[in-house]
C-alpha cells in the first residue's frame, strides 16, 4: 500500500478535480502491475495497473489508496475492469467520498465475489488527498492560506519593502503550492504592490487560475494579470456594479472571467458567496497568497483550511502585519489549530497548521 | 572531553561569575577522577578531580573544557595543584579569556614540564559557556532577550490578555533561563500588567536579581517586586530625579538597590549606560523578559546577544506587537542572525538566534 501511495503522489498537481490514486497488483507475492492516475482524462490507476499486469491480474490482489469508482466519468468504471480481470481481492485505504461512489464501489465488488478490505494506511491516504476529502466533506473548495513573514509577523517594512523576506527554497515551495491548486487568490493591494504573475516558474507544474478579489478594480497601469492572460485564466471576483463599469473599459473588455459577488453588511465582498462561486466553477482547492487584508478576511470568515506560514529569520519591528483585526479580544478568541507542525525550508522555518473550525 | 563537558553542564546556574567547568583525569586508559565546578566558592573542577584521584593523579592526563586558572581567587590556582599532583598532560578545549589567565595558565604548566594541548571540542566548549566568553569579549554582560508570542508576533490581545500564550513546557524553559542568569530585566509596563515575581519556581535554581527599567516608577499598589524583596535583589534602574523622589516614599525607602542612569537625546534611559552599570555591579548575564517597549529598546540599541522567541501555535491578528519600531525602513535594516535554530518546546516552537552585531 505504501507503494500505491508513493505512486499516487507522482500525480500531484495534475489530477484535479480527481484525487491522486496509485494502484499495485500483487500475485503470489510478486508485483505484476503498478500504475498511478497521471492526469485528469487519462486512465484511472486501477485500470492502468490491470492493463500492465495482463493475464497475471487473474486472482491477484489489488492495493489502491482509494475505493475504486463505479461510475462512468471520463473513463469507464474501475469496478467493471476489476471484475472483468478476475481480481481476487481488493484492499483500499479510504472510501471515496464522491457521492457517485461512497461505498457503492465496494458493494459492487463484493457482490461480484471479490474479497474487499479497507482502512490500510488510512491516515496517510487521507493526508495525501486532503483537499479532495475536504472538498467533499465541506462541499466547498479547500482553502490554503500562505504567507511569508518575519519572526515578528511582518510581511513588509513600513515603506512596503518585502522582496524577499523568504529564501529561495521557500519561494520554490510557494510555486509548488501554486502548481497543486486550482486557483490562486490575491487582493488588489498585492496586485498593485507586487504586480505578480501568479504563474508556476520555479518548479515544473500547471499554472493555476488567478483570482483577484477586489471592489475597486484599481489595477496598476502595467498589470501582469491583465496583460499576460493568453491562457484566459484571470478571474475578477467583484461586485456587479464594478463588473458593469470595468468590463466596458479597454482592458476589461476581453478574455477576463467575471464573478459577481454579494457584499456583506460591512459593504465588503462576501467570502462565503465567493467560495460558493469558486466551487460552482469547479475548483476543489484555492491558494490565498495575501496580502494582509485578504488573509485577514479569509481568517475572519473561518474559511482557512490550511495555514502555511513561511518564517524568515528576521525581525523588523514596525511594518505591515501579516494578519489584521480578526476580532480576537481574548486569547481564547485566537485562531488555534487541530493539527500543526513546523519544518525547515532552506534558511526559513515553515509552520503548517489546520485551523480549528469556527464556521 | 565529552565527559568533562557533560560534567561541567551540571553546574549550570550555580557557578556565575565563574564559568562551568568539568574535569576528567585519565591514567592508563582508566578514569581515575572526575569532577565539576559545583558552585562559586567551591573547589574548581581540576582541584576536585585531582583530590578524588589521589595518588593515581600522578602521570595522568587531565581533560578539562577550559584552560586551568593560574591566579588566586576564592580558591588557589589550579596550575599549582596540577603541577603538585604530577599530572603529565593537560588537554583543554578553550583558552580562558579572563585577563588574569588568558594563556598564562598554559604557559605556567608547560614551563613546569607538563604537556599541554588545546582545541578539543572547542565549539561545544564555547557554546557551553557562551555568556562567560561573550562577557569577556564584549566587556559587558551577555544579554538574552526572551519573548513568548503568537505565530503572528503578538504578545497580548488588544485588551491585554496574555495568560498564557505559551504552554507549560515553555514556561518551565522560561524559569530555567531565569535560573541561569544573574539578573532579569523588565519594564514598568510588564510590572503593571503582570505583577511578576521574577523568581524561579517551575524548576530548581537560584533566584536571579530583578531589575526594573523605568523612569515613571509608577508601581502598582500591590507589587511583588517591592513587597516580596526579603532577599534584597530588586534593583530600580532609573534617572537621578526619580531616585531622589521615590527613595523618600515609604515603599522606596528601604531594601531596594538604585541605579542612576543617564538619559539619551530622546529623554529615554540610556541602555549603554545601563549595561555598563550592570557589568560594574558584577553581572555577567541578563535576561530581558519584556515587555514590548523594553524589548524594542534593547534591540534598537543593538544590545541583544541571544534572542529567544517562544512561538505558540496561535494567530491573534490585531494585538500588542512583540517588537515596536526599531527603525527598519528596508528589509536590509531588519535584525538578522549569525546563527539560529528552531526547536520544539511542548506545544510551542522556539527560535533561538544570535543577532548580527550592529553596535
DSSP symbols for A82-140: HHHTT--EEEEEE---STTSTTHHHHHHHHTT-EEEE-TTHHHHHHHTHHHHHHHHHTS
* Cβ–Cβ contact B328 with A under 8 A: yes
Question: How many A-B residue pairs are in contact by the CB < 8 A criterion?
Answer: 148
Beta bridge mates, A340: A353
Given the DSSP bridges, would you call strands A183-187 and A30-36 parallel, antiparallel or unpaired?
A: unpaired
B336-355 in b/e form (b: 16+ CB < 10 A) is bbeebebeebbebbbbbbeb
Residue B74: what pLDDT? 77
Q: Sort out which chain B residues have CB atoms less than 8 A from A329's CB and list them.
A: 157-159, 161
> What's the mean per-residue pLDDT of chain A?
94
- Name the minimum distance, in Å, from the CA of A186 to any CA of chain B: 19
Contact of A222 with A243, CB cutoff 8 Å: no
Q: Measured between CB atoms, which of A149, A328, A342 is closest to B349? A: A342
Of A269, A267, A268, A266, nearest in space to A258 by CA: A269
CB contact under 8 A, A315 and B327: no
Mean pLDDT, residues A325-349 taken together:
95
DSSP state of A330: S
Residue B80 to residues A306, B54, B162, B197: CA-CA distances in angstroms? 65, 15, 55, 44
pLDDT in tens, B250-298: 988 878 999 999 999 889 999 999 999 999 999 999 999 988 999 999 9
- Chain A residues with CB inside 8 Å of B344's CB? 342
Q: What is the pLDDT of residues B53-68, one digit of tens each?
A: 999 999 999 999 999 9
> Please, are residues A63 and A26 in contact by the beta-carbon 8 Å criterion?
yes
DSSP state letter for B56: G
Q: Is B41 buried (19+), middle (13-18) or exposed (0-12) by CB count in 10 A? A: exposed
Yes or no, beta carbons of A322 and B152 under 8 Å apart: yes
What confidence score (pLDDT) does residue A226 get?
93
Chain A CB contacts of B151 under 8 Å are 153, 309, 351
C-alpha cell at A90: 481488493
Question: Can you tell me the mean pLDDT for A269-274?
Answer: 97
The answer, for B149 touching chain A at a CB cutoff of 8 Å, is yes
Contacts of A325 in chain B (CB under 8 A): 317-318
Residue A154 confidence (pLDDT): 97
Report CA torsion sign: A118, A123, A129, A132: positive
In this prediction, residue B45 carries a pLDDT of: 94
**How far is the C-alpha of A202 from the C-alpha of B157, rounded, in Å?**
38
Cα–Cα distance, A246 to A243 (Å, whole number):
5
What does the alpha-carbon distance between residue A318 and residue A272 come to, in Å, rounded to a whole number? 32
Enclosing H/E stretch for B132:
helix B130-138
The pLDDT assigned to A179 comes to: 95
Q: Do B325 and A337 touch (CB under 8 A)?
A: no
3-class state of residue B104 by DSSP: helix
Please calculate the CA angle A338-A342-A343 and round it to the nearest 5 degrees: 140
Segment A9-13 long-range contacts (CB within 8 Å, at least 24 positions apart):
A9/A36, A9/A128, A10/A36, A10/A38, A11/A36, A11/A37, A11/A38, A11/A39, A12/A180, A13/A179, A13/A180, A13/A205, A13/A206
Distance from CA of A167 to the nearest CA of B (A): 13
What whole-number distance in Å separates Cα of residue B46 and Cα of residue B35? 7
Residue owning grid cell 507522482? A10
Grid cell listed for B125: 566548549
Beta-strand relationship, B348-355 and A209-213: unpaired
Write down the residue that cell numbers 519593502 correspond to.
A161
Q: How many CB atoms lie within 10 A of CB B88?
A: 14
Distance from CA of B150 to the nearest CA of A (A): 9
Could you report the per-residue pLDDT of B171-203, keeping only the tens digit for each? 999 999 999 999 999 999 999 999 999 999 999
Query: Count of CB atoms within 10 A of residue A227's CB?
Result: 14
Mean pLDDT of A101-117: 95
**Is a pLDDT exceeding 90 seen at residue B72?**
no
Interface of B with A in 239-298 (CB under 8 A): 296
Q: State the catalytic residue, choosing from A46, A67, A180, A289.
A: A46
Catalytic residue check, B289: no
Cell digits of residue B296: 524594542
Any idea of the CA torsion for B263, B268, B272, B273, to the nearest 10 degrees? 30
B150: chain A residues, CB-CB within 8 Å: 153, 334
Residue A307 in contact with partner chain B when CB distance is under 8 A: yes
Q: What residues 202-221 of chain A have any CB closer than 8 A to a CB of chain B?
A: none
State mean pLDDT over B31-41. Answer: 92
Question: What's the whole-number mean pLDDT along residues B44-48?
Answer: 93
Asked if residue B291 has a cis previous peptide bond (ω within 30° of 0), the answer is: yes
3-state secondary structure of A258: strand
Q: Residue B358 — pLDDT band, cuts 50, 70, 90?
A: low
- Angle (CA) B305-B307-B313 rounded to 5° is 175
Strands, E, within B99-208: which ranges? 115-118, 142-150, 154-156, 183-187
Please tell me which residue of chain B has the smallest CA distance to A318.
B325
Q: Which pLDDT belongs to residue B76?
A: 81
Beta partners for residue A287, in sequence order? A144, A184
Helix axes A45-53, A2-9, angle to 10 degrees: 120
Asked if the C-beta of A117 comes within 8 angstroms of chain B's C-beta atoms, the answer is: no
Contact yes or no for B334 and A158 at CB 8 A = no
DSSP A161-229: --TTSS-HHHHHHHHHHHHHSSEEEEEHHHHHHH-------SSS-PPPEEEEE-SS----SS-HHHHS-
> What's the pLDDT score for residue B254?
75
Distance from the B162 Cα atom to the nearest Cα atom in chain A, whole angstroms: 7
Average pLDDT over residues A198-216: 95
Mean pLDDT of chain B: 94
In this structure, are residues B283 and B257 in contact, taking their beta carbons and an 8 Å threshold? no
**Given an 8 Å threshold on Cβ–Cβ distance, is A329 in contact with B353?**
no
User: What pLDDT band is residue B302 in, cutting at 50, 70 and 90?
Assistant: very high
Amino acid at each position: 500500500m505504501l507503494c500505491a501511495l508513493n505512486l499516487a503522489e507522482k500525480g500531484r498537481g495534475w489530477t484535479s478535480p480527481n484525487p491522486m490514486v496509485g494502484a499495485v497488483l500483487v500475485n503470489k507475492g510478486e508485483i505484476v502491475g503498478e500504475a498511478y492516475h497521471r492526469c485528469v482524462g487519462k486512465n484511472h490507476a486501477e485500470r492502468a495497473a490491470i492493463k500492465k499486469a495482463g493475464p497475471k491480474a487473474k486472482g491477484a490482489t489489488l492495493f489502491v489508496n482509494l475505493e475504486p469508482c463505479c461510475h462512468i466519468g471520463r473513463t469507464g468504471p474501475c469496478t467493471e475492469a476489476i471484475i472483468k480481470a478476475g481480481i481476487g481481492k481488493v484492499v483500499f485505504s479510504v472510501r471515496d467520498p464522491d457521492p457517485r461512489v461512497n461505498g457503492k464501489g465496494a458493494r459492487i465488488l463484493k457482490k461480484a465475489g471479490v474479497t474487499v478490505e479497507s482502512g490500510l494506511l488510512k491516515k496517510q491516504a487521507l493526508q495525501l488527498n486532503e483537499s479532495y476529502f475536504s472538498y467533499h466533506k465541506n462541499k466547498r473548495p479547500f482553502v490554503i492560506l500562505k504567507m511569508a513573514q518575519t519572526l515578528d509577523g511582518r510581511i513588509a517594512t513600513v515603506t512596503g519593502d518585502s522582496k524577499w523576506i523568504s529564501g529561495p527554497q521557500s519561494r520554490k515551495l510557494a510555486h509548488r503550492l501554486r502548481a497543486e491548486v486550482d486557483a490562486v487568490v490575491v487582493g488588489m493591494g498585492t496586485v498593485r504592490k507586487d504586480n505578480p504573475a501568479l504563474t508556476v516558474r520555479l518548479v515544473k507544474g500547471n499554472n493555476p487560475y488567478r483570482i483577484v478579489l477586489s471592489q475597486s478594480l484599481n489595477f496598476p497601469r502595467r498589470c501582469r494579470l491583465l496583460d499576460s492572460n493568453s491562457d484566459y485564466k484571470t478571474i475578477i471576483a467583484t461586485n456587479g456594479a464594478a463588473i458593469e463599469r470595468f468590463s466596458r473599459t479597454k482592458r476589461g473588455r476581453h478574455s477576463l472571467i467575471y464573478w459577481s459577488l454579494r457584499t456583506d453588511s460591512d459593504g465588503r465582498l462576501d467570502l462565503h458567496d465567493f467560495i460558493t462561486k469558486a466551487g460552482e466553477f469547479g475548483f476543489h482547492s484555492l491558494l490565498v497568497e495575501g496580502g494582509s487584508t485578504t488573509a485577514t478576511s479569509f481568517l475572519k470568515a473561518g474559511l482557512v483550511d490550511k495555514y502555511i506560514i513561511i518564517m524568515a529569520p528576521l525581525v523588523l519591528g514596525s511594518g505591515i502585519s501579516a494578519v489584521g483585526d480578526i476580532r480576537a479580544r481574548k486569547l481564547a478568541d485566537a485562531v488555534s489549530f487541530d493539527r500543526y507542525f513546523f519544518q525547515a525550508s532552506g534558511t526559513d522555518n515553515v509552520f503548517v497548521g489546520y485551523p480549528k473550525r469556527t464556521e
